[in-house]
Structure 1
Amino acid sequence: MFILDEPLVLLFVIIALGMLIGQWSIKGVGLGSSAVLFVAMVFGHYGYEISSVVQNLGLSLFIVAVGLQAGPRFFKMIKTSGIIFGIIGVVIVALAGFTTLIVASVMDLSPALSAGIMTGAMTSTPGLAAALEATGDPIASVGYGIAYPFGVLAVVLFVQLFPKVLKVDLMKDLNRKSSPIRRTSSPDVMTIEVTNDAVHKRTLKELRLAEGTSAVISRVIRGDRTIISLSDTVIMKGDRLVAVGNKRDLAHLRDEVGKEVPTNFSNHDNIKLRKVTVESEAVVGKSLRELALRRTYGVTVTRIERVGFEFNQNPGWRLEQGDILTVVSSEGRLDELESLLSTKKLEVTNIHLFSLALILLIGILIGMIPLYIPWLGTITLGIAGGPLLVALVIGHYGKLGPIRARFFQPSNQVIGDIGLALFLAGAGTTAGAGIVEIIQQEGARILLAGAIITAVPLIGGFFIAKKLFHLSMVHSLGALCGGMTSTPGLGALNSLVETDDPAIAYAAAYPFALIFVALMSQLIVLFL
């Protein structure tokens, strides 16, 4: 058609048709945004082509969004029990890579096609992006497109059918097994009477009590008065400090200032402890220090929970939507704080174009630096790996110099969705030019390779989680979905149990698998 010769018309026709088809689902399973790739391949078969500049722009935007989203959690997970799930995610990807090398050698598949099949079996678009850049061969998209549907269906069916085959009651098994996920529990509370002369008539700011530990002084009881602890609160001998934290840190604080006395709040019912969920976009990305909750609202944050993991209160902690803060103050002040954190504002995006441009620029420049790997030769991170690395680091810190990278979740979603659509449209038209010939040449070998590369890490990863780490069936399947980067699989698992354990295991494994599969696709090309 003549109208499709206009590049912008062609681009948006492909994206619109792809997103329309992606909304269709059969029993909850659909292609989602990956449908854009399949539509683009059809157009590519008939000779239409999207500029490589558009494809590379989309790739960079999508990869940066992935890095900014994973950054805040990725490094924190390494320091917590979530590393167990991260290890499982990495092992699953390693199994997929090892299986791909064997299958490619036995079936004599090209490096680009092999890497594409693996990323399709793992349903990983970042992996496909890395494979395309490493090979420069559009056949990787063909492998991805053929293996992708099987990868989606295999995980969904495995999650739903395997517990039935083994006749496992998921909830009973979950309650019977010890969990590596640290659950929220009532905080330890200790009341300490001040007897140390060195503490007398000094402010909490001057004393710096329990700094760097989990212990937080939430209130000061002086006679019949209860005082919310602020940085300028003066401590007197005979005061009773009510502290919250773990037992070891509380014991250290007690030894530093005085002696433990019985805790009795019967005369101080105006002081309450409440859990408040962060929902307001106005505070997302801001640190507790920036919000100055003690000074402004007279409340004390004693602990923070994110995706089922508990962390000690830290002034530098930057809030994300869904964080749960345990706070102590009077009823009225807690109501005021809850209004601040939970009231939704009209502003839902905060894309900082200057920061985004700098992240992309620095990432692309770093991606151009040659890296020598012994026995493998020289490689570069490219326009996928470079921006991903930079986005992970900056996403972790939130702000570096003039770069602000802690965007609201809707902002990341906008950047990622636009980038992904542009990338898939370009990759699809390029791959579509030779798809018929490839299928005719390779035929059933591609389908068989995709089935094997999906099945081995799927089954192997599950048994490693179950037998090596002794996880419950629910946690094993949740980690498996994260390791296979399968959101449809998680959705299927969530429908089987009424608990957030699958989502927590998925969230812990997913960032590791997401990053490692992109690296693995490049390693496969080097080894083959």
Structure 2
Amino acid sequence: MAELLNEPLILLFLIMVIGSLVGQLSIKGVGLGSSGVLFVGMVFGHLGYEVSTIIQNLGLSLFIVTVGLQAGPRFFRMLRTSGVVFGVVSISIIVVAGITTFVVSTVMELPAALSIGIMTGALTSTPGLAAALEATGDPIASVGYGIAYPFGVLAVVLFVQLLPKILKIDLMQDLTGKANPIKRSLTPEVMTIEVTKDYLHKKTLKELRLAEGTSVVLSRVIRGNRTIVGLSDTVILKGDRLVAVGNQKDLEQLCNEIGEKVTTNFANHDNVKVRRITVESEEVVGKSLRELALRRKYGVTVTRIERSGFEFNQNAGWRLEQGDILTVVSCEDRLNEAEQLFSRRHLEVTNIHLFSFSLILFVGLLVGMTPIYLPGLGAITLGIAGGPLFVALVIGHFGKIGPIRARFFQPSNQVIGDIGLAMFLAGAGTTAGAGVVDIIQQEGVRLLFAGAVITVVPLVFGFLLGKKIYGLSMIHSLGAMCGGMTSTPGLGALNSLVESEDPAIAYAAAYPFALIFVAIMAQVLVLLL
């Protein structure tokens, strides 16, 4: 058996198999997840086995690129919306975690690499661990991560579950009584408005520019028993009923401007159909609805976009991703033509564009090796984690740059990320495992205390910032806090408390910021400690 374990691939996949099994074990819904591979790797490392550094770096590169491609579209979009408040909460958590780590490391005289590893474990951030290992060049960072990680998971889960009970807050009542900073872009509603204003009579939608600059899309015009698709050259008559889709505030404003809200039985107006179409063709991936000019070329109107389980108002500037689901309105023939545009043109063997993925990795590594000079702090590099992450974020935002295609089906992206993460954790675990026993014997309770402090301080600060300073609801504050702590188990615990998608939305808005800035903070702490 010992001889077999000396074969690099045998060792790698044995650690991945056992680690994934350990990660699937859970106690009351709390488990190690992917970090099970890290802990199993540490055991093998303690026994004298080591996974190749090349395998570890390859896994890190694959994982970090998929993180960037996943976070890119949401990260830059959130910077331009009111939902940026969740990003502020997330970044604040990381900054406070960095300050706390600096203070704890200085007072307790802990090694820099160990302290940074503890911070990434307290934040349950595997990308942060990757950045810490690269920035410090010391495998002891993995030891700190492994020590702080279990408490980091449990602390967030217990905080989420116990705080509402201690404060005796009705979460759903609290949610409805607070302003929702992301409600504007989610869960579109439908309203039928009868035109009663004289100035609208016999003018086209293009001339009237109704609802311009708002979330509202005019999908249909009902005239008697006839339904017309709402195109730019559609003429509006007094008495027409306009079917509008958007958020409630914008719909009410439009209604006040042009007429009054009425009830319509759409079953009696069946010449215009509504169809949900999935984006599959690589020819449209990365393009915006404005570029596709669907109304002008195909005579169809997109009213909503569903992505990753969330439904958004139509936005002409959004770039499409594979797997997006569009709600489209038009007559049967035109819908068929539009569906052909979005469907696959040919049978594809894979949903990953190998040339693009490899080029993103290559350019990312080059960017990561380029020194960046910071006044008073010296030069830093983004490294094999930060470089590919930055490039993937930018390309992920645009979706397609020249020959580079960066929007894949989410399952395909997830598979590559999971495999890369397991390879990286197996290598990081065996490297750290060689010294884990000595470190625990020397430091012992001090490390556990350091991990607890670095977990609790940013956790409480992030919640109070969202709740007290920004006036968010309890659900949104806790969801943003879970995102800033990159705690998926915490989100799961919060979801179990309420029947609402709001926790997941707040988490998803905060999470990309945490992924990025924890890697930056690891680099900064290397220069300061």
Give the TM-score normalised by the residue count of structure 1: 0.86
Is the Cα contact below 8 Å between 1:484 and 1:513 reproduced in 2? yes
Equivalent in the alignment of 1:426: 427
Given the superposition, is the C-alpha separation of residues 339 and 446 from structure 1 closer, same or farther in structure 2, using an over 3 Å criterion?
Answer: farther
Quote the offset at 1:185 in angstroms: 5.0
Quote the offset at 1:104 in angstroms: 0.1
Equivalent in the alignment of 2:315: 313
Quote the offset at 1:328 in angstroms: 3.7
Equivalent in the alignment of 2:160: 159
Which residue identity does 1:270 align to in structure 2? H
Q: Superposition pairs for residues 232-381 of structure 1, below 5 Å? A: 242=242, 244=244, 260=258, 269-270=268-269, 285=285, 287=287, 288=289, 294=295, 298-304=299-305, 310-314=312-316, 316-319=318-321, 321=323, 325=326, 327-329=328-330, 350-381=351-382
Segment of structure 1 superposing worse, 219-228 or 98-107 = 219-228
Which residue identity does 2:102 align to in structure 1? L
Segment of structure 1 superposing worse, 94-103 or 277-286 = 277-286
Equivalent in the alignment of 2:14: 13
Equivalent in the alignment of 1:69: 70
Given the superposition, is the C-alpha separation of residues 227 and 185 from structure 1 closer, same or farther in structure 2, using an over 3 Å criterion?
Answer: closer
Is the Cα contact below 8 Å between 1:156 and 1:488 reproduced in 2? yes
Given the superposition, is the C-alpha separation of residues 276 and 48 from structure 1 closer, same or farther in structure 2, using an over 3 Å criterion?
Answer: farther
Equivalent in the alignment of 2:189: 186
Equivalent in the alignment of 1:525: 526
Given the superposition, is the C-alpha separation of residues 222 and 498 from structure 1 closer, same or farther in structure 2, using an over 3 Å criterion?
Answer: closer
Given the superposition, is the C-alpha separation of residues 376 and 276 from structure 1 closer, same or farther in structure 2, using an over 3 Å criterion?
Answer: farther
Q: Superposition pairs for residues 396-435 of structure 1, below 5 Å? A: 396-435=397-436
Distance 1:420 1:53 in 2: 14
Is the Cα contact below 8 Å between 2:139 and 2:432 reproduced in 1? yes
Is the Cα contact below 8 Å between 1:65 and 1:413 reproduced in 2? yes
Distance 1:398 1:406 in 2: 5
Which residue identity does 1:485 align to in structure 2? T
Given the superposition, is the C-alpha separation of residues 309 and 177 from structure 1 closer, same or farther in structure 2, using an over 3 Å criterion?
Answer: farther
Given the superposition, is the C-alpha separation of residues 147 and 162 from structure 1 closer, same or farther in structure 2, using an over 3 Å criterion?
Answer: same
Segment of structure 1 superposing worse, 165-174 or 291-300 = 291-300
Which residue identity does 1:23 align to in structure 2? Q
Given the superposition, is the C-alpha separation of residues 440 and 264 from structure 1 closer, same or farther in structure 2, using an over 3 Å criterion?
Answer: closer
Distance 2:277 2:237 in 1: 37
Given the superposition, is the C-alpha separation of residues 495 and 217 from structure 1 closer, same or farther in structure 2, using an over 3 Å criterion?
Answer: closer
Segment of structure 1 superposing worse, 124-133 or 312-321 = 312-321
Distance 1:320 1:351 in 2: 11
Distance 1:504 1:92 in 2: 18
Counterpart of 1:350 in 2: which secondary structure? coil
Is the Cα contact below 8 Å between 1:48 and 1:429 reproduced in 2? yes
Q: Residue by residue, what CA displacement relative to the aligned partner does 1:298-341 show, whole Å, maximum 9, x if unpaired?
A: 53123446576744431653146575x55444589889989999
Distance 2:496 2:261 in 1: 44
Is the Cα contact below 8 Å between 2:322 and 2:408 reproduced in 1? no
Give the TM-score normalised by the residue count of structure 2: 0.86
Identity of aligned residues (%): 64
Q: Residue by residue, what CA displacement relative to the aligned partner does 1:119-148 show, whole Å, maximum 9, x if unpaired?
A: 000000000000111010000001001111
Distance 2:494 2:249 in 1: 38
Q: Residue by residue, what CA displacement relative to the aligned partner does 1:357-386 show, whole Å, maximum 9, x if unpaired?
A: 000000000111111001110011111111
Is the Cα contact below 8 Å between 2:193 and 2:262 reproduced in 1? no
Given the superposition, is the C-alpha separation of residues 72 and 52 from structure 1 closer, same or farther in structure 2, using an over 3 Å criterion?
Answer: same
Q: Superposition pairs for residues 490-501 of structure 1, below 5 Å? A: 490-501=491-502
Equivalent in the alignment of 2:516: 515
Equivalent in the alignment of 2:30: 29
Counterpart of 1:118 in 2: which secondary structure? helix
Given the superposition, is the C-alpha separation of residues 223 and 456 from structure 1 closer, same or farther in structure 2, using an over 3 Å criterion?
Answer: closer
Counterpart of 2:50 in 1: which secondary structure? coil
Which residue identity does 1:368 align to in structure 2? M
Q: Superposition pairs for residues 441-452 of structure 1, below 5 Å? A: 441-452=442-453
Quote the offset at 1:228 in angstroms: 2.0
Quote the offset at 1:244 in angstroms: 3.6
Which residue identity does 2:315 align to in structure 1? Q
Distance 2:244 2:333 in 1: 21
Given the superposition, is the C-alpha separation of residues 440 and 451 from structure 1 closer, same or farther in structure 2, using an over 3 Å criterion?
Answer: same
Is the Cα contact below 8 Å between 1:278 and 1:321 reproduced in 2? no
Q: Residue by residue, what CA displacement relative to the aligned partner does 1:485-522 show, whole Å, maximum 9, x if unpaired?
A: 00001101111111111111111111111111111111
Counterpart of 1:32 in 2: which secondary structure? coil
Counterpart of 1:386 in 2: which secondary structure? helix
Distance 1:236 1:273 in 2: 17
Given the superposition, is the C-alpha separation of residues 462 and 400 from structure 1 closer, same or farther in structure 2, using an over 3 Å criterion?
Answer: same
Counterpart of 2:63 in 1: which secondary structure? helix
Equivalent in the alignment of 2:107: 106
Counterpart of 2:189 in 1: which secondary structure? coil
Is the Cα contact below 8 Å between 1:194 and 1:236 reproduced in 2? no
Is the Cα contact below 8 Å between 2:245 and 2:251 reproduced in 1? yes
Q: Residue by residue, what CA displacement relative to the aligned partner does 1:138-187 show, whole Å, maximum 9, x if unpaired?
A: 00001001111111111111111121122222222222323223153535
Is the Cα contact below 8 Å between 2:89 and 2:462 reproduced in 1? yes
Which residue identity does 1:59 align to in structure 2? L
Counterpart of 1:302 in 2: which secondary structure? strand
Is the Cα contact below 8 Å between 1:273 and 1:326 reproduced in 2? no
Q: Superposition pairs for residues 123-138 of structure 1, below 5 Å? A: 123-138=124-139
Distance 1:379 1:93 in 2: 19
Counterpart of 2:373 in 1: which secondary structure? strand
Given the superposition, is the C-alpha separation of residues 149 and 243 from structure 1 closer, same or farther in structure 2, using an over 3 Å criterion?
Answer: same
Q: Residue by residue, what CA displacement relative to the aligned partner does 1:221-266 show, whole Å, maximum 9, x if unpaired?
A: 67875432457x5759999694747799999999xxxx95678787
Say yes or no: does 1:46 pair with 2:78: no
Given the superposition, is the C-alpha separation of residues 412 and 162 from structure 1 closer, same or farther in structure 2, using an over 3 Å criterion?
Answer: same
Distance 1:387 1:184 in 2: 34
Given the superposition, is the C-alpha separation of residues 402 and 282 from structure 1 closer, same or farther in structure 2, using an over 3 Å criterion?
Answer: closer
Is the Cα contact below 8 Å between 2:482 and 2:490 reproduced in 1? yes
Distance 1:265 1:104 in 2: 65
Which residue identity does 2:159 align to in structure 1? F
Which residue identity does 2:391 align to in structure 1? V
Distance 1:452 1:416 in 2: 31
Which residue identity does 1:112 align to in structure 2? A
Distance 2:254 2:479 in 1: 39
Given the superposition, is the C-alpha separation of residues 87 and 275 from structure 1 closer, same or farther in structure 2, using an over 3 Å criterion?
Answer: farther
Equivalent in the alignment of 1:437: 438
Quote the offset at 1:444 in angstroms: 1.4
Counterpart of 1:48 in 2: which secondary structure? coil
Counterpart of 1:227 in 2: which secondary structure? strand
